[in-house]
Amino acid sequence: MSYDSVPGLRAEQQGPLLRLTLDRADRRNAVNDVMLDAMIDHLASAGTDESVRVIRIDADGPDFCAGSDLIANNAKSDRKPRVGSTQRRLPNKANRLIPLMLETQVPIVAMVRGWAAGLGFHIALAADFCVAADDARFWEPFMARGFTPDSGAAWLLPRVIGLVRTRQLLMLGQEISGETAAQWGIIHRACAPDELEPVAAELVTSLREAPTVALGLTKWLLQSGNGLDLDRHLQNEALALELSSRSDDFKEGLAAFKDKREPRFEGR
């Protein structure tokens, strides 16, 4: 697989790690269509690339992501778009990115400092693990701009924090810190800004060295179980157990248990 950088997004594979870095600090890393298309392509490719065992999403500059770059995305033509242009566009843009993050069986770690607003907030929310500086700022800017949430906000947030707190964020536009986001269970962990990099690196290393097949199938079970009754979910559990128990990592786990040593998983 080839993971090419584009203006505004650096992509680099470092062994089993695919690192995607938002690189548009002068715009607070607001995401334009070029960046969005590249992120979608890279996540889709990584999902079937057996050399990738973990994905990290981070950003250059003082802020993680100020959301979608509405000015850039709306300035492509002098002509007024046809009615329904937003409805036609979103399924192939932000509304594709978030489900892809949730569905890919490669674990995703997001590292947030500064502002995570709108789409930036939702990227952090859709990651399997997000670590943020305790003074980071999470914000849903939609009411302040006079329009409605996008990229899954009103679906993701209630499942994580319930309706009452979701209303505070989406309808009242309340800003919260990284520390509060961790207390509410929105992110995995908040820490001091100077501890952010080593904490994220430690988490990435833990996932990179984990049993990749079992990890991915567990992610699938967690995501697919949202809309299933218990009987169907248990069928999926049986399928996942059948597949994971055929992996080399499962054999290594049993051997390590027998030998009373730490397992050395290869992601196979």
Return the SS3 of 106: coil
User: Regarding predicted confidence, which is higher, 78 or 236?
Assistant: 236
Rounded Cα distance, 236 and 234, in Å: 5
Q: Containing H/E element for 229? A: none
Q: What is the pLDDT of residues 60-117, one digit of tens each?
A: 999 999 998 865 555 555 666 665 556 555 555 778 999 999 999 999 999 999 999 9
Percent of the chain with pLDDT over 70: 91
Q: pLDDT per residue over 160-215, tens digit each?
A: 999 999 999 999 999 999 999 999 999 999 999 999 999 999 999 999 999 999 99
Q: What are the structural domains, with CATH classification, of the chain? A: 9-208 (3.90.226.10), 212-259 (1.10.12)
- Is the pLDDT at 13 greater than 60? The verdict is yes
Answer whether residue 56 shows pLDDT above 70.
yes
Position 160 scores a pLDDT of: 94
Output 228 or 178, whichever has higher pLDDT.
178
Residue 54 makes CB contacts below 8 A (sequence gap 6+) with: 16, 17, 18, 106, 107, 108, 109, 204, 207, 208
The answer to whether residues 8 and 56 touch, using CB atoms and an 8 Å cutoff, is: no
pTM of the model: 0.90
Mean of all residue pLDDT scores within the chain = 91
| % of residues, the chain, pLDDT over 90 | 82
- How much of the chain is in helix, strand and coil states, percent to nearest 5? 50, 15, 35
What token pair was written down for 225? Answer: 């179980």
Please count the other Cβ atoms lying within 10 Å of the Cβ belonging to residue 165. 18
CA-based end-to-end distance of the chain: 18
CA distances to 225, 241, 256 from 238, rounded to whole Å, are 13, 5, 24
Instruction: Give residue 147's pLDDT.
Output: 87
